[in-house]
Structure 1
């Protein structure tokens, strides 16, 4: 409010312009006046100097003050412009207002007019600066929202109305002219998370409790996100009158956290394998070699060799887990059935036959998808007693959600008509080292699970239509974050 006020005074009478400048600067020490002899001179000064306000005469030779105002408004739509003229009429005032004048003041005899003009200038400039500062803050707030993916919202308890920022609507995949009530907002949260956010919001409204939650939501396009929602009650005279809060999209952060958790889990698996699965055959090899040294028994040498071979297999599996467990960054459209047939050629399947149901493509990493299929085929060969056929096909989405393209899974399956997998152990089959056969390392399905997870797929095992095992791999719109 104490900043200098730079005024451009445009008047064709140099004596009057000089007098006006002197008296305005005397009335308000903040005011500094630059004079111009007419509109042409005024525009030239505007191009070279920044001003906070223009004061212009109306009746000038060649171009009127209103015509000058119109040219100024083309480049400076909000700059304060005061028409200070000796020719006053309703017509002039109406034209000035239509042209966008800030204020209109008639010249008069006496020094009081300069006090009034100085006050009008100060008021117009202060309003102009306040509006610009508010605009700057709003722009800064909007940029901060976009950079941080943070939106703001407010619920007024007394009027039962809600106001949300554009970023909140963007996070919901809604247009900026749409509206959200608390009830509508609740419907976007994951069904399992709705009770938590409902109770937190009600506690804020009733008891003044602050909340800060990380929850899943499904936006209007059917994409699942992770969001941070925070609410803080506001009081007036001891009464809770509103709740203000933020909504932040933390999907990328959650993905990083989940990736780190997967990596840590994988390291723990490797540590277990090194400390247990490799130690056992090492002890066998060491004992058999000691026995062979003492007795020269060829069978002891053979058992030691088998133990070392098992260690080599385990190490190869560990490397495969490490290689295929990395997140898939690039995929290509692969024909599922062509890829299945390619994998089939690399596995000794004996009398088994491969059947491909329907047509379709799947976005995947070629090498890792082939490895996944090879391991499943090999699993049927080893454990699918009585199996004669392996089927590969796509799982088609079933749109049962009330939202178009809802959170409905689609993907592919690999099924056989063998003995199946006991329901009691289905939750363990994807664990590293789990096996029902003593000669198996138990890594085949663990590698399958790692490859699926790296793609963002969910792996599950159930019964096939022929009574055997059916492995399903589904991809949700959430990009691997579902559930």
Structure 2
């Protein structure tokens, strides 16, 4: 990873000169690499950019006669992807969306306190680091392409979709195409007519590109043929290696291609010479025989006698002695083959069974040639080969039985759409017999609209030679049902190599699709609910709180405090409802996370009083970092606020741990949208919008009593971890309900915190259970966690 060590020149544009100067002071104090120039107008900022040397632009949004988005657009037009951070006091979804659409690098709201400048400095540093790293990678890439263009071998590069994106000058000599023509093709382009060394088409999954992609590792010495545009067949040796970008993501393959056609021809000549030599060796090392038809004499050499289990000289040397050892069912075949060879002079070849001297039956292959009126040949024992052939036949029979009896409809059609095969399930599905289907097309068997769609899919598979998986609407017993159909091309091994049939498997997914539609409707309702909670309820609550604040300045009444507490509880309830409702919308991005570090971070964000933390783990787990912190934060908050051994003024000593989550434990919606990155610095939505950074809803009671005399322990389990405390524990009847959303015996609690814990665990594929700890408190056990 490229690391920024040299000075970082920052241009800060804000029409408030005092604020711009203050920001420059804080940034240069925060990171001694920063050199900050300020400008109070967009025009002045553009002039400074024109002077050069700026690494990052920081801009306000709302400025005199223009705004930050317009400035961003002009910077993008003139300076490409130069890092640009919108640092603004005006925050809304509309502004954020507009900034992202315009290509902003980062977006951050202004706020009170110095922590916003710390965050701003961090984001500037990250943005410049990423920009310089990308520039360096691009320079290295161009340098590498320059080298590849000049090397003597043929070098090509293929992207993740399998298309050629680069070829050097040697490509024409090896591939028969100009460089521009190579980059118009994909690695599996049918015009290559790629074949293995036996002349058979190679499946896409076995081509060199697919192997490198699948393994993300180099391959060496792969060989296959291609066809040049002029019809010449060339044999290539292929070495390939994967390419990765600066972040380690797979981005393509680079190949070295060598034309070894001439080498193959030399090897074939050598192999032919070796074959002839082997044949001569077989004539001496394998059984050799001679048959003289005129005298009915048959001579076996010693090797053949030994192969058949006889002692040297034991074979009588007559045709009758040979015929007695041939299986009676095969003797006519042997005689007809011999007679044909003697009459025509053609080569003699026959496979038949013989009786070994020990009584066993062996398969033999006899090959020979007519020489001076006699048959001269050699004898091979092919018993093992025949055994394998029988096994293949049995396997084929079992496969035919599986295809015939599987509960999934299967079929095969020729290139004209006529059925060649259907299994029993297909017949049962449509109420047709094999005789009624085979030889007919869909147009003859099914409604025209359905047949047209199916036929179009079949043609696509045959014409492209590519498998196809698609949904097809099929009418069964008058009812339209949805099938997920997978179709693959079938080749008959002809010279042209083109598919001439389609094999298909269909799966009925009608009920699954109906269920998916139902879930989509439910998700739409859930989103509507979250919108009402987030916007329609927050606004009147904010007004009510403001009116209450005004009333408290005009009169003094204990009822006002109660009303304020009630409004704070409503705000807390809304926050928990939103977190619970939108948990399923968040993508769980799994990465290695230190469990101990995550616990430490959570401990800093919870008001723990005099509670102590015991970390008994060094494990690194695979989890979504922010959501793991959310789970731990809720468990720690639950233990601190409701596991204290000290009496509390608002709940009995044995109050159930309800799992309420503090507003600090998850980011309000607007705070997330406007650039906040740490769960520790979040404030409720209204506070963020008005610049407040403090927690306005922290319970005094939690501060006063939370964690008194309490120890919270985080430790390892087999495939998991636990969070336990030595507090008051749960009542016996509470264990089965603690994870229910809204359940609590504490009138001041929302009851959603532990429900959120359960949802976060479920989204990771984990389980969470609660039991009594050894010290009598609560113990939460999370299992199914993958260790990094």
Provide TM-score, normalisation by structure 2: 0.26
User: Which one has more relative contact order, counting CA pairs under 8 Å at least 6 apart?
Assistant: 1
Provide TM-score, normalisation by structure 1: 0.40
